[in-house]
Structure 1
């Protein structure tokens, strides 16, 4: 089973994300949405959300999707490029933070076991 590798495309408001998703899906590009905070629940319960939405697409479709999104009038091209770069940097930092948290948890458990058996 191969893993689907995604790449962050853009973070935008809910209404703009809906338009971008429709554009990309009309061009044969699959899109995955990630809502901030309780945005997904708010859109189901109230019909709209005031929270931002992150859009992801596969690595293979990323360039084509970026070209299509950059042609839209309401999307700032500089924001699209900066956001992609900052996401990649944040992804690296979050990986190291997760790894450090795992190490701390394992050390805590080992120390707890040591104290439990020897005291």
Structure 2
């Protein structure tokens, strides 16, 4: 039995929208694979939601049906585009902006840790 190839469907930013998509595709018998971007899966556990979005994948055979279902529901991706209509010019900018956000997040965490360390050292 051959394993089917997974195909990118869309990126969704809201957890509620992911749940709606998952439920609708499940009704049609289409399995859905969710991959959180960057550290999104850890943020989902810690804060209850991710600010990076979730990439959704379906099997290659189910892509057409899944796309039709989501188009009928009027569901759009994280940038407001209909399913399967990604703008390559925006994709590069969005990915670059995402990298900057991650870098700023890491710097912020480092500075908070440094401040905590300094306060701890002064109190000792």
Using the size of structure 2 for normalisation, the TM-score is 0.59
| Whole-Å separation in 2 of the counterparts to 1:14 and 1:4 | 27
Gaps of 5+ in 2: 93-124
| Whole-Å separation in 1 of the counterparts to 2:75 and 2:68 | 14
Offset at 1:79?
A: 3.5
1:14–1:51 Cα contact (<8 Å) kept: no
The size of the alignment, in residue pairs, is: 86
Using the size of structure 1 for normalisation, the TM-score is 0.61
The SS at the match of 2:61 is coil
* Higher radius of gyration, 1 or 2: 1
User: RMSD of the alignment, in Å?
Assistant: 2.4
1:1-119 map, 5 Å? 2-15=2-15, 16-75=17-76, 78-83=81-86, 86=88
The SS at the match of 2:70 is helix
